[in-house]
Chain A
Amino acid sequence: MAGLDPGGHSRRQLLRAGLGGFASLSLADVLRRQALANEAARSDDTPSGRRSADTAVILVWLRGGCSHLDTFDPKPEAPLEFRGPFAPINTVVPGIQLTELLPRTAQVADRFTLLRSIAHDGGGHPAGSLQVLSGDRDAADKPAPVHPDWMSVAAFARRHQQSALPNYIAVNPVDRYDNFVIAGPAYLGPAFGPFQVTGNPDAPDFRVPNLTLGSAAAEQRLTSRATLAGRLDRIARGLDTSGAMEAADRFEQQALALLTSGEARRAFDLSQESDATRERYGRNAWGQQCLMARRLVEAGVTVVTTEFDGPLCGRVANWDDHAVNHHVFDALAYRAPPFDQAVSALIEDLYARGLDQRVMVIVTGEFGRTPRISHVASSGGGVASAAAGTVQPGRDHWPRANTMLFAGGGIRTGAVIGATDAKGEDPIERRVGPDDFLATIYHHLGIDRINTGIVDFSGRPVLLAPQGEPIPELLG
């Protein structure tokens, strides 16, 4: 497993060699490693030409939970009360079928691998999300994360990598489910949360919030203000041994660069892309979110999350297709075209631009949906939902089985890992849990699960995904 090693710095290598192999750590050991890593990173002023840890992950998050049976895990032979109306179709990979909702994704099946056997026991949206994103093992919902999600962990692990861009950016953030916070840095602290890009990047007047001053004159003015401030702000930086002042300076420089330098901001600027490319992704929120995600990882961002929700989902603006919310099949048919287009374009583009080794794309939500179809009265009419009181089909929460899609990341693609039973209810082979999923991501990002040096609020050393192992088929 590759260590966390941002520069080929000899001092660091020496330190690592000196400590090598000892995986059993006391708290003091953890802190010691962290301190040594900090020292090594600080002394690493000149970035070396080659980065060993430049891998990245794009997470496409289907908030609410997508029906696996109707998309990636078709069960045409299941009894009527289980199988949906969507016929299976062949993909370019013999033996792998998707449903007819995903024709374009089927055409790039040689470039992804499906994991059809992820299971956990977080049956509510908050619990399910926290299990998948932060490895929390609690089956009960809670108002906010107790442990940091993997995205924040990655931001923390890569904190010494200097870049004009933040290393964790959320394009339409994964952050809340109603009043519940489903993702966040918890005890890592807010510095490791995402830089959030909100709004619809397909809108003609879209601007990245906080990143646009509006005019060249305003940018010029900010530059002159910063120059003036530099003459007045002469407090000695060494005074603060906690490093906070140093960090504040670094973030201020980053903020000024984002606001005034075209280079950093250009990563967010979709008008740099050809019309053909923008069309290929789909001229809608999801398509352009994915395109921005691709631009950001290309510009060196480590983690980009992008949530597929909002009006493209239908009436309740997410994938939570209980019959009270949506007619599940109408809803899936409604959102399939933009979904199919955006995801297939992202995968295709990843390979076309040679990002397929470095960048891993993951598409998933917090859980699958109940294979046995329920029939309950709608609570309200709207897009993909009949008028209130009308009985319509729905599917409920199903943490016992779900399908995740993995592309890029140097993995062997065109494959399926695991399988569910004939009704799609439970994995019958290669059952994996959230910790395996997380361990796979950490492996791709070169994050040492033992030596990353995270301690929680109580000072206890925290292991990352302690119950998991990287999924062998998904190792690049």
Chain B
Amino acid sequence: MDRFEELPRVMPSQDSTFTRRAQFLRTVVAAWLGALVCVGGGLLWPRTVWADAAAEHAVEAVSFDRDVMAVLSKAGCNAGTCHGNLNGKGGFFLSLRGQDPVADWEELVTSADGRRLNRIEPARSLILLKATAEVPHGGGRRFGRDDPEWAVLERWIREAATGPQDAAPQVARLVIDPPDAVVEGETAQVPLKVTAEFTDGATADVTRMAVYEPSDPLIEVSREGVVAFDRPSLTTVTVRYLRGQAVARAAVVPPRSDATSSWNGPPPANLIDEAVFARLRQVGVEPAPPAEDAVFLRRVFLDLLGVLPTAEEAKAFVADTAPDKRQRLIDQVLARPEWAEVWAGIWSDLLRVEEKTLDAKGVEVFHAWMRQSFAEGKPLDVFVREIVAARGSTYDVPPANFWRAHREPIIRGETVAQVFLGARIGCAKCHNHPFDHWLQDEYHDWSAVFTGIDYEIVKNERKDDLDKHEFVGEQIVQLKDFQERINPRTGGPATPRLLGEAGYPEGDRLEALAAWMTSPDNRRFARSQVNRIWFHCMGRGLVEPVDDLRDTNPASHPQLLEDLTDLFIASGHDVRGLVRLICTSQTYGLSSRHPDPGPLAANEQLYARAVVRRRSAERILDAQVAVLGANAQFEGYGEGTRAGEVAGVERVRRKTADGDQFLRLFGKPERLLACECERSNEPTLSQALTLVGGPGLHARLGSQSNRLAQLLAADRSAEEIVEELFWTALVRPPTAEEKAAAVVAFETAPTPREAAEDLAWALVNAKELLFRN
């Protein structure tokens, strides 16, 4: 009866003799009961159940590392919403997604007085009764008695619940077959087969025990790995098995007629179109027709410059008949100063350019430096190197404000990784990254890189003594020796180490960091910046979210992202050049309307049509101001300042003018996070009230020196005024119906002025203007 020696190893949870004695008694009783059960065991055990289901495992003993850990993931036990939560659930704690087998084994076997397992009668083990919902379980029924999950756990318990082995082979790679399925049909079932390759050279079919997570939330993947489409759609499926992760793509496309080859897309203008059209051809969708001239012009101006073209510019462009006018337009636009202003704004959002920490002067010099950098065409790697390696006075060395804004090693490490390398490593602060390969140790070693950046606070005239985030006055950013940082996992000091690398190079620390980061060998940098530039041109990243690049979050067009990355590196990190390439593609210039009403043509990640997005706060306000010819006010800025020119968030503390309020209300970020996600272009009720009846708009409409006043003073006909306002606001002439409706308004309104105001109101509130399309 050697099984008795395997009886629960009771961990003394309390020291009292009484408890230990009670446990001893319990053990003895259990042993005797166990003996009784064992006598009749052959009859009572439902052996056949597991024997069939787990036949393939029957030869070897159940491995905790491989089999049990896989079940804990497969059944969802160790999910972050369940027992994998930091707080566990119902007193049962597992490591998130199984990253700590030793802790999980102890939790299963010894915690809770060992009562989770019943060695005598494994099928009566609490973990099995809970998982099958035979006793009430907050997480419901996870599997049944005839499932292989049950068989694995039951057999593991019966085989003495052995623990993790140090030498257990790890998953080296997961291979999914098919990796990129395209199936025709209105509905379809696409079975995936998952093979794990282990570090000891063994392979195993793990299809049944892998975990499947589709990117399209409406698509279901069965336990057996069958992707079920109830309509044509595209999805990626992330597959996890133990510590291995891989991604497959699957698409179901409507059945095509025999004329599959009659794909009628336009000829590609460049490699972007080749890649986008190839994917469209693969899924049987044609691109939308090119956008009308006016729509294209409006898109180019607002996307790239943040402002509307004037009516004259618009008319001239539409009247131009040269075939290359769109390319020429892009070139002209990229040479304008507003282009650099837009990019300075993008980077100001990312680098936390706000007055509370940088003070007004810091904001001003940092923003001006960025604008100048983009205007002069500074290569992006140089731009980033100058930021990362900066030190000195935050007034004299503008990019040193980056370090002034980021005052903690952890925050510095996270920001640098996210903004410059497209890696969201934050999850790895508390545990190994669940969706990426970053380990907790790597996170803390990387944080240690950012110790020793210190500040000489020359002056601080902060207004709020309690607010430690506020600084007013010059600071000198200084580089000191690495400071000790504790890795909370090991309790020992973290070793400064570049992210994902073995060590830290010699030489000036920040220079070395900057050089490593922007080196052509570090494709992460270039790739993440290409994705960001694409995002700001196209309205959607090749990878979404734009700063979350990882193996398990693949690009919509993976090869295109790599090709553009090569080009970007080869061009010397030329931002303007990449923007030109993107915006002169056919893809950029497509209409947002697609004749095909189907879900694939609408799927944004195919780029079969232009992406529709609400315009940013700055663009909406600047358009309103430009159309009405009456300024908005920004506290601390001169009359006539545009929203796009505003460098920071709040130049005069706790004091805002109508323009500042508008920007906040429409989602301009406070710039407290180094993330594009902090900017919200989501509509709200308060925005609607501001657009419909807000005091700022009211004042601009009613101004006696605005565009309406000028048009009316010029003694022009109602039709002319209508035409002019349409060109000014929507960059196009009114349609006949629109013109008729507007002219009627002029005829019926008490005064022409009122009619003009009403029409202008309608135009600045038109979704055509508020939304990129």
B592 at interface, CB cutoff 8 A: yes
Complex Cα–Cα for A226 and B762 (A): 7
Minimum Cβ distance to chain B for residue A251 (Å)? 4
Q: A235-B773, A457-B673 are in contact. Are A244 and B745 (CB under 8 A)?
A: no
Chain B residue numbers with a CB within 8 Å of A352 are none
Q: A23-B82, A143-B469 are in contact. Are A235 and B768 (CB under 8 A)?
A: yes
Chain B residue numbers with a CB within 8 Å of A457 are 673, 675, 677-678
Q: Which positions 234-272 of chain A face chain B at CB distance < 8 Å?
A: 235-236, 238-242, 244-245, 247-249, 251-252, 254-256, 258-259
Minimum Cβ distance to chain A for residue B604 (Å)? 6
Chain A residue numbers with a CB within 8 Å of B268 are none
What are 13 A-to-B residue pairs whose CB atoms are below 8 Å? Answer: A30-B81, A32-B217, A187-B677, A190-B665, A190-B684, A195-B685, A213-B693, A229-B762, A233-B766, A236-B593, A240-B612, A252-B691, A459-B548
B686 at interface, CB cutoff 8 A: yes
Pair B692/A190 contact, Cβ less than 8 Å:
no
B761 at interface, CB cutoff 8 A: yes
Pair B683/A247 contact, Cβ less than 8 Å:
yes
Q: Which positions 725-773 of chain B face chain A at CB distance < 8 Å?
A: 734, 737-738, 741-742, 745, 754, 758-759, 761-763, 765-768, 770-771, 773
Which residue of chain B lies nearest to A246 when distances are taken between CB atoms in the complex?
Answer: B683
Q: A228-B759, A457-B673 are in contact. Are A24 and B688 (CB under 8 A)?
A: no
Which residue of chain A lies nearest to B739 when distances are taken between CB atoms in the complex?
Answer: A232
Complex Cα–Cα for A25 and B761 (A): 47
Chain B residue numbers with a CB within 8 Å of A180 are 467
Per-residue contact bits, chain B 671-702, to A (CB 8 Å; 1 contact, 0 not): 01101011011111111111111100000000
Chain B residue numbers with a CB within 8 Å of A50 are none
Which residue of chain A lies nearest to B604 when distances are taken between CB atoms in the complex?
Answer: A241
Which residue of chain B lies nearest to A453 when distances are taken between CB atoms in the complex?
Answer: B217
Pair A233/B685 contact, Cβ less than 8 Å:
no
B545 at interface, CB cutoff 8 A: yes
Q: Which positions 107-133 of chain A face chain B at CB distance < 8 Å?
A: none
B670 at interface, CB cutoff 8 A: yes
Pair A26/B79 contact, Cβ less than 8 Å:
yes
Closest 5 CB pairs of A and B: A21-B140, A229-B762, A24-B82, A255-B688, A251-B688
Pair B682/A25 contact, Cβ less than 8 Å:
no
A139 at interface, CB cutoff 8 A: no
Complex Cα–Cα for A340 and B604 (A): 57
Chain A residue numbers with a CB within 8 Å of B290 are none
Complex Cα–Cα for A247 and B613 (A): 12
Chain A residue numbers with a CB within 8 Å of B77 are 24
Complex Cα–Cα for A211 and B692 (A): 11
Pair B604/A251 contact, Cβ less than 8 Å:
no
Complex Cα–Cα for A240 and B83 (A): 39
Chain B residue numbers with a CB within 8 Å of A461 are 80-81
**Residue in B79, B140, B693 with the greatest tally of chain A CB atoms within 10 Å:** B693
Pair B766/A229 contact, Cβ less than 8 Å:
yes
Chain A residue numbers with a CB within 8 Å of B467 are 143, 178-180
Minimum Cβ distance to chain B for residue A334 (Å)? 25
Pair A248/B745 contact, Cβ less than 8 Å:
no
Pair A239/B592 contact, Cβ less than 8 Å:
yes
Minimum Cβ distance to chain B for residue A244 (Å)? 5
B213 at interface, CB cutoff 8 A: yes
Complex Cα–Cα for A387 and B758 (A): 58
Minimum Cβ distance to chain A for residue B228 (Å)? 12
Which residue of chain A lies nearest to B693 when distances are taken between CB atoms in the complex?
Answer: A259
Q: A23-B82, A25-B79 are in contact. Are A244 and B771 (CB under 8 A)?
A: yes
Chain B residue numbers with a CB within 8 Å of A466 are 85, 87
Chain A residue numbers with a CB within 8 Å of B681 are 244
Extra inter-chain contacts (19) besides given A233-B762, A235-B767, A463-B85, CB under 8 Å: A26-B79, A30-B81, A32-B217, A35-B218, A180-B467, A190-B686, A191-B682, A195-B686, A228-B742, A228-B759, A231-B738, A232-B738, A232-B766, A233-B765, A235-B771, A238-B602, A247-B682, A247-B683, A460-B427
Task: Give the A-B pair count, Cβ closer than 8 A.
Answer: 210
Q: A144-B670, A225-B758 are in contact. Are A210 and B217 (CB under 8 A)?
A: no
Which residue of chain A lies nearest to B770 when distances are taken between CB atoms in the complex?
Answer: A248
Chain B residue numbers with a CB within 8 Å of A28 are 213-215, 217, 238
Pair B470/A179 contact, Cβ less than 8 Å:
yes
B76 at interface, CB cutoff 8 A: yes
Pair A34/B426 contact, Cβ less than 8 Å:
no
A24, A35, A239: the one contacting B81 at CB < 8 Å is: A24
Complex Cα–Cα for A417 and B598 (A): 58
B378 at interface, CB cutoff 8 A: no
A314 at interface, CB cutoff 8 A: no
Chain B residue numbers with a CB within 8 Å of A39 are 218
B461 at interface, CB cutoff 8 A: no
A27, A36, A245, A255: the one contacting B767 at CB < 8 Å is: A245
Chain A residue numbers with a CB within 8 Å of B680 are 189-191
Complex Cα–Cα for A213 and B614 (A): 27
Complex Cα–Cα for A287 and B75 (A): 54
Complex Cα–Cα for A211 and B211 (A): 52
Per-residue contact bits, chain A 366-390, to B (CB 8 Å; 1 contact, 0 not): 0000000000000000000000000
Which residue of chain A lies nearest to B140 when distances are taken between CB atoms in the complex?
Answer: A21
Q: Which positions 425-451 of chain B face chain A at CB distance < 8 Å?
A: 426-427, 435
Which residue of chain B lies nearest to A240 when distances are taken between CB atoms in the complex?
Answer: B612
Complex Cα–Cα for A164 and B670 (A): 30
A224 at interface, CB cutoff 8 A: yes
Task: Identify whether the interface residues of B are mostly helix, strand, loop, or mixed.
Answer: loop
Q: A228-B759, A251-B685 are in contact. Are A32 and B218 (CB under 8 A)?
A: yes
Complex Cα–Cα for A467 and B685 (A): 33
Complex Cα–Cα for A254 and B597 (A): 29
Pair B217/A228 contact, Cβ less than 8 Å:
no
Complex Cα–Cα for A20 and B141 (A): 10
Which residue of chain A lies nearest to B467 when distances are taken between CB atoms in the complex?
Answer: A179
A363 at interface, CB cutoff 8 A: no
Per-residue contact bits, chain B 495-533, to A (CB 8 Å; 1 contact, 0 not): 000000000000000000000000000000000000000
A87 at interface, CB cutoff 8 A: no
Q: A189-B682, A461-B80 are in contact. Are A244 and B738 (CB under 8 A)?
A: no
Minimum Cβ distance to chain B for residue A462 (Å)? 9
A193 at interface, CB cutoff 8 A: yes
Minimum Cβ distance to chain A for residue B720 (Å)? 17
Which residue of chain B lies nearest to A435 when distances are taken between CB atoms in the complex?
Answer: B87
Complex Cα–Cα for A226 and B691 (A): 12
B619 at interface, CB cutoff 8 A: no
Complex Cα–Cα for A228 and B761 (A): 9
Chain B residue numbers with a CB within 8 Å of A241 are 602-604, 612
B576 at interface, CB cutoff 8 A: no
Chain B residue numbers with a CB within 8 Å of A460 are 80, 427
Chain B residue numbers with a CB within 8 Å of A242 are 612-613
Complex Cα–Cα for A193 and B673 (A): 19
Complex Cα–Cα for A35 and B235 (A): 15
A221 at interface, CB cutoff 8 A: yes
A34, A225, A244, A255: the one contacting B761 at CB < 8 Å is: A225
A471 at interface, CB cutoff 8 A: no
A34, A35, A191, A225: the one contacting B762 at CB < 8 Å is: A225
Q: Which positions 125-172 of chain B face chain A at CB distance < 8 Å?
A: 133, 138-142
B466 at interface, CB cutoff 8 A: yes
B473 at interface, CB cutoff 8 A: no
B424 at interface, CB cutoff 8 A: yes
Pair A458/B685 contact, Cβ less than 8 Å:
no
Pair B142/A467 contact, Cβ less than 8 Å:
no
Pair A26/B76 contact, Cβ less than 8 Å:
yes
Chain A residue numbers with a CB within 8 Å of B754 are 221
